[in-house]
Amino acid sequence: MRDRGVITTVRSGDAPVIQVSFSVHMRQFTDAADLNLCDILDRRGSAAGWANTSGVYSDFPSFNWTFTVEGTTADGADHTAVFANCIGTWKFSDGEPNKIEVTLECHGGITYTGPA
């Protein structure tokens, strides 16, 4: 439970806020024709008009993120994890290669699909 934004009580059984992080090799910060990861996280360009999964009254726009592991010939199906209502931030790391590090805070849980 929160009181004016401060956590005052934690109850057994409360759904946790899921955190996901990953990094990608940086190709470019922005492109006039195509969206890239930074544009999506910052809601620039045509991403600014995308649907907000947490509703119109949210302080932060959120997205559902789907991670897919391609299926093998043995199981014949992809494995997916869908993280719902995620707020994302990113930072740039200079190096060889340059990287973009993404952190997602997901408030809507996770759903798995694919072979059992």
Assess whether pLDDT exceeds 90 at residue 104: yes
Q: What is the pLDDT of residues 28-52, one digit of tens each?
A: 776 677 778 888 888 877 777 777 7
Q: Which ranges constitute the DSSP H helices of 1-116?
A: 37-42
Angstrom distance (rounded) from CA 85 to CA 62: 5
Domain-wise residue ranges, the chain? 16-113
User: At residue 40, what are phi and psi to the nearest 5 degrees?
Assistant: -65, -45
pLDDT of residue 42: 82
Q: What is the pLDDT of residues 51-77, one digit of tens each?
A: 777 665 566 778 889 999 888 777 778
Of 5-9, 43-47, 100-104, the range with the lowest mean pLDDT is: 5-9
Angstrom distance (rounded) from CA 17 to CA 105: 7
